[in-house]
Amino acid sequence: MSVYDRLEEAARFVARETGRDRHDAAVVLGSGLSEYARGLEGAIEVPYRSVPHFPVPRVEGHAGELYSVPFADGNVLVLAGRVHAYEGWDLDDVVFAVRTAALSGCRRVVLTNAAGGVADDLEPGDLVVIRDHLNLTGRNPLVGPNDDRLGPRFPDLSAAYSPQLRSLLAEVFAEAGLRHREGVYAWMLGPSYETPAEIQMVKRAGGDLVGMSTVPETIALRHMDVDVGGISLVTNLAAGISPVPLSHEEVTETAARAKAKITAVLDALLPRLAGP
Ligand code: HPA
Most informative mutation of 111, 203, 236 for ligand 1 (most atoms within 8 A of CB): 236
Q: Residue 109 maps to which CATH number? A: 3.40.50.1580
Name the closest-CA residue to atom 10, ligand 1.
115
Mean pLDDT of the chain, nearest integer: 94
Most informative mutation of 59, 195, 212, 249 for ligand 1 (most atoms within 8 A of CB): 212
Name the closest-CA residue to atom 3, ligand 1.
211
Closest alpha carbon to 161 in 122, 107, 218, 123: 218
- For residue 12, the CA-to-ligand 1 centroid distance in Å is 35
56 burial type by CB count under 10 A (0-12 exposed, 13-18 middle, 19+ buried): middle
Active site residue 248: yes
Q: pLDDT band at residue 247, thresholds of 50, 70 and 90?
A: confident
Chain centroid to CA 273: how far?
A: 15
Name the closest-CA residue to atom 5, ligand 1.
116
Q: Is the pLDDT of residue 8 over 80?
A: yes
Query: What does the pLDDT read at residue 214?
Result: 98
Distances (CA, A) of 64 to 49, 60, 61, 119, 123: 8, 11, 10, 31, 29
Domains: count for the chain:
1
27-66: per-residue pLDDT in tens? Answer: 999 877 888 888 788 899 999 999 999 998 776 545 599 9
Which residues form the pocket of ligand 1, taking CB atoms under 6 Å from any ligand atom? 114-116, 188, 193-194, 210-212, 235-236, 238, 246, 251
Q: What is the pTM of this model?
A: 0.96
How far is it, in rounded angstroms, from Cα 235 to Cα 61? 14
Ligand 1 nearest atom to the CA of residue 194, by list position:
1
Q: Which domain holds residue 204?
A: 3-274
Chain centroid to CA 9: how far?
A: 22
34, 236, 239, 274: the catalytic one is 236
Name the closest-CA residue to atom 9, ligand 1.
115
First to last CA, the chain: 35
177: which DSSP letter? Answer: T
Active site residue 236: yes
- For residue 199, the CA-to-ligand 1 centroid distance in Å is 11
Active site residue 87: yes
Q: pLDDT above 70 covers what percent of the chain? A: 98
Query: What does the pLDDT read at residue 268?
Result: 95
Residues 211-224, mean pLDDT to the nearest whole number:
98
71-102: per-residue pLDDT in tens? Answer: 998 999 999 989 999 999 999 999 999 999 99
**For every residue of 227-253, which 3-state class applies, written as one string?**
EEEEEEEEEEECCCCCCCCCCHHHHHH
| Beta partners for residue 234, in sequence order | 115
150-182: per-residue pLDDT in tens? Answer: 999 999 999 999 999 999 999 999 999 999 999
Q: pLDDT above 90 covers what percent of the chain? A: 83
Query: What does the pLDDT read at residue 166?
Result: 98
Query: What does the pLDDT read at residue 59?
Result: 61
Using DSSP, state whether 39 is helix, strand or coil: coil
87: left (phi over 0), alpha (psi -120 to 50) or beta: alpha
The phi and psi torsions of 136 (rounded to 5 degrees) equal: -100, 15
- For residue 169, the CA-to-ligand 1 centroid distance in Å is 22
- For residue 179, the CA-to-ligand 1 centroid distance in Å is 22
Query: What does the pLDDT read at residue 37?
Result: 86
23, 25, 34, 62: the catalytic one is 62
Q: pLDDT band at residue 275, thresholds of 50, 70 and 90?
A: confident
266 burial type by CB count under 10 A (0-12 exposed, 13-18 middle, 19+ buried): buried
133 burial type by CB count under 10 A (0-12 exposed, 13-18 middle, 19+ buried): buried
How far is it, in rounded angstroms, from Cα 185 to Cα 230? 9
Query: What does the pLDDT read at residue 38?
Result: 84
